[in-house]
Structure formats: structure tokens, C-alpha cells
């Protein structure tokens, strides 16, 4: 069972998107895409639409931005966030079934979404189908094996991290994506690290939101309330003693359809 983005975890995900980690990812994507006014762009797994507003401003009134996500709660939030933009069209569907015409997009982008799709190949086929020749795909996915907290008791820390593996389908998608894109005719494929480290767990920090996401998820995986609460206390103590850490390793993969 993975994360249910229609539930309370969806709310935490939206807080994450608003944190500095979300901002940095959006800035990296926007500087990678060479957006021109009038372009058509799709954000696959758009969540609550934080990137869509930036894309809508960049393509202007003559352009179109599609935000696709299967979660009704996320699409409802994206609708609210994008209400002032007539050029944003929201699609409540899975990535493998956009129902858009062939070759309709200059760009496709996706942030921390493909790793949640068990069979990611049909989703990549669909992105390739709707992207026009010369168009670019820019994806950000996390290397989950490097998504780690430091400072708690090692055994308990490993137990919480191990339980979190079930939250998504692909732990290391950025390692597989270049080959998958090459086989679909993409060229000039490159990777860029967006890795970061945090040594404080202030409110509103991505580390704090992630701690809550992992703690809630651990409870759904049968880890006891006491253990989850001990883990959180141990992280708090580690922070007080100046030995807390959190690392995340998102990778931006981009390529042009030949
Ligand atoms: C971690 S959130 C990321 C949302 C947004 N891209 C962001 O960066 O804030 C993952 C999103 O992927 C969506 N998702 C899950 N399965 C999907 C699928 N089969 N096709 C498209 N999106 C999917 C979820 O509903 C969720 O909104």
C-alpha cells in the first residue's frame, strides 16, 4: 500500500510542496524548460498545482497548461490555486490515460509523481505520445534510498525507514529513467542533482513535514504508537544536542524527443 494523496497525508504533501524543498525543485524545473509565450505544457501528477501557476504565467494567455492528477483532493486544491488562470486545464486522470491528442505539448514535466506509479512504462509511453518532436520532458524524482534521518537510535531509525519503502513503487527511479527515455527516442538526456541536507527541524522545514509523513506512514505499516513516538523524541533530542540531520536526493532528469 502506498501513500493515499486523498487523505491527511495529502495535506502534509501540500505543506511539503510549499516548503523550501518544493520551491527549489520548481525553480530548477523552470530554469531547465525554455518556455516561450504560447507554449503548451503538461505537469503530470501536478498535485495541488504549485508549479502550474508559474507555468501559466510563463506561457501567457496564448499558451495552455495541463495539470493532470488522479486524486480528486489534489485536483480540487489545484483548481482553487489556479482559479485566476484561464489557460490552466485540470485533468483528473492517471498518467497513462490523459486522453489528450498526439503531439499536443511542447513540454512535459513531472515532480515526485512517477515513482508512485507501479507500472511506470505506460505513463512514459503516454508522455511520449502527447509530446511533439523536439519537445522536452523534465522529471524530478527522489532517490529514496538516500532519503534519511540521522540522530535516532540506529535500530529504530532503520525500522522506520524500512517501513517507509512501501510508500512508493520505485525507490531509485532516476537510475532507470535515462534508459527508459532513450528507448522511447529521447536524446540529450542529462541528470542534475538537487540533493540537500538539513540539520534543524524547525516548523515549516521539509525535515519536519517529512518526519510527520514518515511517522504517520509507519503507523499504517504496523509499527506501534510507542515506537513512533520514541523515534520522534529521539530526533528532537538529537536536534537539541546538535547531532540531527535529514538528507534528500532528488534528481532532475531531462531529455528531448528526437
Ligand atoms: C508527492 S505528490 C507531488 C505533487 C506535485 N507534483 C508536487 O511536486 O507538489 C505525488 C502526486 O502524484 C500523483 N499520482 C499518483 N499516482 C499517479 C498516476 N498514476 N498518474 C499521475 N499522478 C499520480 C498523486 O495523486 C500526487 O498528487
Number of other CB atoms surrounding residue 112 within 10 Å: 21
On whether residue 3 sits in a domain, the answer given is no
State if residue 95 touches ligand 1 by the CB under 6 angstroms criterion. yes
**Residue 41 domain boundaries:** 8-257
Q: Give yes or no for residue 71 CB within 6 A of ligand 1.
A: yes
Tell me the per-residue pLDDT of 195-213, one tens digit each, with 9 for 90 and over: 999 999 888 888 998 999 9
220 CA from centroid of ligand 1 (Å): 20
Residue 21 has a pLDDT of: 86
Domain CATH code at residue 152 = 3.40.50.150
Q: Is the CB of 52 under 6 A from ligand 1?
A: no
- Is 1's pLDDT higher than 70? no
Domains of the chain: total = 1
> In ligand 1, which atom is closest to the CA atom of 25?
8
Residue 1 lies inside a defined structural domain of this protein:
no
Of 65, 74, 104, 116, residue with least CA distance to 92: 74
98 lines ligand 1 (CB under 6 A): no
Report residue 218 as a C-alpha cell.
509507519
Task: Evaluate: CB of 131 within 6 angstroms of ligand 1.
Answer: no
E-strand ranges in 12-93 read: 40-44, 64-68, 88-91
Judge whether 2 lies within some domain.
no
Angle CA 171–176–40, to nearest 5: 100
Q: List pLDDT tens digits, range 234-248.
A: 999 999 999 999 999
* CA-nearest residue, atom 14 of ligand 1: 45
Spell out the residues 6+ positions from residue 66 whose beta carbon is closer than 8 angstroms to its own: 40, 41, 42, 43, 88, 89, 90, 91, 98, 100, 105
Kindly report, residue by residue over 128-153, the tens digit of the pLDDT.
Answer: 999 999 999 999 999 999 999 999 99
Residue 50 Cβ contacting ligand 1 at under 6 Å: yes
Amino acid at each position: 500500500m502506498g501513500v493515499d494523496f486523498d487523505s491527511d497525508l495529502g495535506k502534509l504533501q501540500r505543506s511539503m510542496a510549499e516548503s523550501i524543498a518544493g520551491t527549489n525543485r520548481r525553480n530548477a524545473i523552470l530554469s531547465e524548460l525554455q518556455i516561450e509565450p504560447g507554449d503548451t505544457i503538461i505537469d503530470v501528477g501536478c498535485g495541488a498545482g504549485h508549479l502550474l501557476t508559474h507555468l501559466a504565467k510563463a506561457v501567457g494567455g496564448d499558451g495552455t497548461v495541463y495539470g493532470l492528477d488522479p486524486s480528486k483532493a489534489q485536483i480540487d486544491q489545484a483548481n482553487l490555486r489556479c482559479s485566476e488562470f484561464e489557460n490552466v486545464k485540470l485533468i483528473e486522470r492517471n498518467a497513462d490515460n490523459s486522453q489528450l491528442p498526439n503531439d499536443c505539448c511542447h513540454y512535459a514535466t513531472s515532480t515526485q509523481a512517477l515513482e508512485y506509479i507501479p507500472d511506470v512504462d505506460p505513463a512514459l509511453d503516454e508522455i511520449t505520445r502527447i509530446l511533439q518532436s523536439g519537445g522536452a520532458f523534465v522529471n524530478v524524482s527522489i532517490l529514496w534510498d538516500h532519503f534519511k534521518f540521522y540522530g535516532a537510535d540506529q535500530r529504530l531509525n532503520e525500522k522506520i525507514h524500512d517501513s517507509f519503502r512501501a510508500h512508493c513503487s520505485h525507490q531509485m527511479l532516476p537510475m532507470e529513467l535515462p534508459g527508459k527515455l532513450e528507448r522511447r527516442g529521447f536524446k540529450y538526456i542529462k541528470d542534475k542533482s538537487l540533493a540537500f541536507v538539513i540539520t534543524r527541524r524547525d516548523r515549516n522545514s521539509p525535515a519536519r513535514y517529512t518526519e510527520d509523513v514518515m511517522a504517520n506512514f509507519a503507523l499504517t505499516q504496523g509499527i506501534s504508537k510507542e515506537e513512533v513516538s520514541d523515534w520522534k523524541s529521539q530526533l528532537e533530542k538529537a536536534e537539541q544536542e546538535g547531532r540531527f540531520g535529514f538528507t534528500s536526493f532528488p534528481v532532475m532528469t531531462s531529455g528531448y524527443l528526437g
